[in-house]
Amino acid sequence: MSDSNTSNPQDTRDDQGRNRIHELITAYIDNEIRDPQELKETEDGIRNDADLHNRFVFEKLTKKRVNESGKLSGPPLYLQKKIGEGIDEYIKKASARHSAESVTLDRTKPIQQSFIDENKLNLKRNLYIGVSVFVLLIAGILYITTYRDSGPVLASNDMVAVSRDVFNKIIDGKVPLQIKSSDAKVLADSMNKYLDFKVFVPDVKDAQLVGGTCNEINGEKLAHIIHKKGNVYIYTLQGNKDHILSKGSRIVLCKDFTEKVNNGTNWFTCLKEKTSSAVIWYKDNVICSSVAQMDSEDITAVLTNYSNQNK
């Protein structure tokens, strides 16, 4: 007669094989398994074992989310600490609850087998808790980072929103240039005839001046200046600084950006998307929003590397 307290050798082998495949799933997702036998075992395990399949799907999704958010900055330290404390507290309560539940054993099974079954159950519960907490943490980081990078919601007549709209039209070839000139002084003198402020045309070393256009948007006179570095356009929307920062202006600057300008902050990123950035800057009586398909630091570097004429 067999000993009812002895575990089944087949179950032990199955558990060992499952644990081994657990360890190989990450390598499988990263295409790092070189042994054909290990590769086959892993694929068979994922295909035939529900737990292994769920782990594979979770790890693959998590890796994709992390890779997609690689360029995004993480949440503030205080938030990381708060999330960490919340996770610790959740796991502590869950562990205490599971410990209390594990006191009651199934008396219809041998004691040793009951402990094995209970340990498996607790392991699975803890795995699900860990997975859930990790997914929530990743989602929280992505949400907070995306919200912070997107910046404040802009009105349709906000200077940055207007500059973004005009830039897209320039890229699509829908904005004709009234004045074509590579000479900054010639372009400025020509544009000043149409404006109620003295335009500032950056005469820079690292980009070619293409030309500009003047018009009115919402009754506010504005200048549109275009540079080109290689195949990349750098567009600058320029307006009367006093008008745009004043109350009741028909072209506005949102509160956050207005406060930065009033506090003396210059050349700061105000809008960043996957392929382009917008930078707010000002000089004398003009305020500008420059947009280009490059990082904000590169926009600033190009437009502030003046030739002798602007010095």
Cα–Cα separations (whole angstroms), residue 140 to 83, 88, 154, 256: 9, 16, 24, 24
- The verdict on residue 3 lying in a domain is no
Residue 252: give its domain's CATH number.
3.40.1000
Q: What is the pLDDT of residues 203-238, one digit of tens each?
A: 999 999 999 999 999 999 999 999 999 999 999 999
Could you tell me if 177 and 229 lie in one domain? Answer: yes
Residue 154 confidence (pLDDT):
78
Give the tokens for residue 161: 């929103």
Amino acid at 66: V
Give the tokens for residue 299: 């926009």
Cβ atoms of residues 266 and 232 within 8 Å? no
- The verdict on residue 1 lying in a domain is no
- The verdict on residue 38 lying in a domain is yes
Could you tell me if 142 and 202 lie in one domain? Answer: no
Number of domains in the chain: 2
Could you tell me if 118 and 213 lie in one domain? Answer: no
Global confidence as pTM? 0.54
Confidence of residue 34 (pLDDT cuts 50, 70, 90): confident
Could you tell me if 193 and 132 lie in one domain? Answer: no
Could you tell me if 45 and 128 lie in one domain? Answer: yes
Q: What is the pLDDT of residues 43-56, one digit of tens each?
A: 888 888 877 777 78
60-86: average pLDDT: 61
Could you tell me if 117 and 166 lie in one domain? Answer: no
Could you tell me if 45 and 71 lie in one domain? Answer: yes
CA atoms within 13 A on the CB side of 293: 11
Task: Residue 218: give the domain boundaries.
Answer: 159-310
Q: What is the pLDDT of residues 83-137, one digit of tens each?
A: 666 656 655 665 565 555 444 444 454 545 554 555 556 665 666 666 666 666 6
Could you tell me if 98 and 165 lie in one domain? Answer: no
- The verdict on residue 4 lying in a domain is no
Cα–Cα separations (whole angstroms), residue 62 to 20, 85, 129, 187, 291: 21, 22, 15, 53, 34
